[in-house]
Structure formats: C-alpha cells, structure tokens
Amino acid sequence: MSRYLDPRSDVVFKKIFGDHPHLLKSFLNAVLPLDAEHQIDTLEYLPVEQIPQIPAFKRTIADVKCKDANGRVFIVEMQIDWTNSFKQRLLFGTSQAIVKQLEKGKEYQLLQPVYGLGIVADIFDKMTPEWYHHYKLVKSGAYSTSIIEHLQLIFIELPKFPIQSPDEKKLKLLWLRFLREVNEKTINVSRDLLDIPEISEAITLSEEAAYTPGELNSYESYWDSVRTEKTLMLGKFEEGKAAGLAEGLAEGEAKGKAEGKAETMQKMLKNMLEAGMDIVQIAKIANTSEQEIEKIINMN
C-alpha cells in the first residue's frame, strides 16, 4: 500500500472530519456559502438520537453530521459516483435533521438552519462548467428577494473546479484540492496545501502509518464495495442501453417500411458507430445480420 490513503474513502474521511472538529470547522467555513458574520465558531458532533437516517448505497457514502454553537446543523456527504437519487437523498436527510431539532411541544421559531453538503468525486452536470451548485428556498417572482434560509443544499463536483480562481476563496480551493489530489498515487504533496496548518494536519491523518490493521482492512473493503456497486450500476446501464437500442432499431425499421425510407434507421446506426460500437455489436443488439447493418449504413 502507498504512503497516503484516499481521503474520499469512508475510513479516512471520517478520521479527518469525524474525529477532529477543528478540521471540520475549517473545511465548512471554507466551502459553505457563509458570510463573514455567520462563520462557524465552534461545533460538536450530533448525538446518535439526532442523526438523520439517510438511505444510501451500502458503503459508498462517507458522511459527518454536526451542529455549531448557534444550533445550525451541517450534514456532509462524500459521494464517489453520482447517482440520480443523490439530491433527493441529501434533501431527505436535511429535512429529517430539521424535524429532529424540536422536541414535542417546542416552538417552531426555535428551528435553526440545516445545510446539506454533497461532495461528489464525479461530474454529474455535463451541460455547464459550473461546479458549485447552491440550492435554497427562494420566493418565485421577477422582483422577489425573499429567502427561507432554513434548508440549503450545496453540491460540489470535485473534478471540475479550477485550481486557481479570482472569484473563489483560496482556502475553499485548497481544501477541495486536498480531496481531489491526495490519494494512493501521491508521492509529493503540493507546498500550497502543506502551508495551511489545518490541511497539513489532514494530510498527516491521510498517511497509511496513522491507521491500524483493522482500519486498513476497512479501507480496502470500502473500495471493494465501491467497485462492486459501480460494476452493478454499469451492468444495469448496459442492459438498459441494449434494450433501448433494440427498441429504437425496431421503431426505426417500422417507420422506414411505412414511409418507404430508412433515413432514421441509418442515422441511428451511424450514431452507434460514432459512439464506439462496432458492426458486430450493433448487429447482435438489433438481432440481424452484419451485412444488413452495413447495407443500411451505406444506403444512399
């Protein structure tokens, strides 16, 4: 095993941010949309009875839940691969955290804001270069500025953020660089990261030497779980893609016969070729011969 472990894993993420509140405070103040007057001063981890139950894949989520001296609740999740349910799951967890704040008979005005932070080691929005996604309850209307602050979700796409940006806080980018750059392949850590005391401490906590044999086994088990679930997700995707392509081919063929032309079919097959599929794969999916596929592709 290498000198460093990947801080995006459950074991390392929780050792850094789940056992050292001062590191979590530095991280949250850096990456959350908090102005100077509302920075986190101190925080504590939520007691077990107040921790919201968030449905997730077995072990591909690393999470930490805490609150600050003002009663604000922060839920932090590290997600390796994006799934379409991730937003809903974090929304579910933050909503539960709001509900769990009040004991029976307490007044609603005692409710404090809840922030859900989802850090994703994957690109999920390929239509925009934006990497920082902030959601909050805003009154609709062209001239409305009314905001309900009590529930906010922030999603960060780790692969997309720039190393340098005049529009972003330096500490935010450095913390995110730590999560993106430090892993088992790391030999030398950037001096920019080591110059920040909190990040330097987090790097030290990422060293293999900081872990017991049992923790190292859990670390390997975590990545085994990630690989297994990724394989299962890929298998489901391929099944769906094959079924969709076969259905599309059938619809295209029917349309061609009905209209006396096969432009739709031809375009579909060419798109498959451009996507990297070969004639043999396409013919197998379409349940027809390779010669027939080539005939349609080369049709004038």
CA distances from 60 to 171, 228, 234, 244 (A): 26, 10, 15, 28
Whether 2 is covered by a domain: the verdict is no
Looking at the structure, do residues 180 and 264 belong to the same domain, yes or no? no
Are 259 and 194 in a shared domain? no
Q: Using 50, 70 and 90 to split pLDDT, how confident is the model at 56?
A: very low
Lowest-confidence segment of 13-22, 78-87, 208-217, 256-265 by average pLDDT: 256-265
279 and 165 within one domain: no
In the predicted structure, residue 12 carries a pLDDT above the cut 80: yes
Residues 143 and 61 in one domain: yes
Q: What is the pLDDT of residue 231?
A: 65
Structural domain boundaries, residue 273: 242-297
Residue 37 sits in the same domain as residue 78: yes
With respect to residue 217, please indicate whether it lies within any of the assigned structural domains: no
pLDDT tens-digit map of 83-122: 777 888 888 888 888 888 877 667 888 788 999 999 998 8
Number of domains in the chain: 2
Q: What percent of the chain has pLDDT over 70?
A: 77
Chain segment 14-44, per-residue pLDDT in tens: 999 999 999 999 999 999 999 888 899 999 9
Q: Taking 70 as the threshold, does the pLDDT of residue 60 lie above it?
A: no
Does residue 82 or residue 163 have the better pLDDT? 163
Compare 128 and 261 and report the one with higher pLDDT.
128
Query: Mean pLDDT throughout 55-63?
Result: 52
**Pair (201, 254) in one structural domain:** no
pTM of the model: 0.71
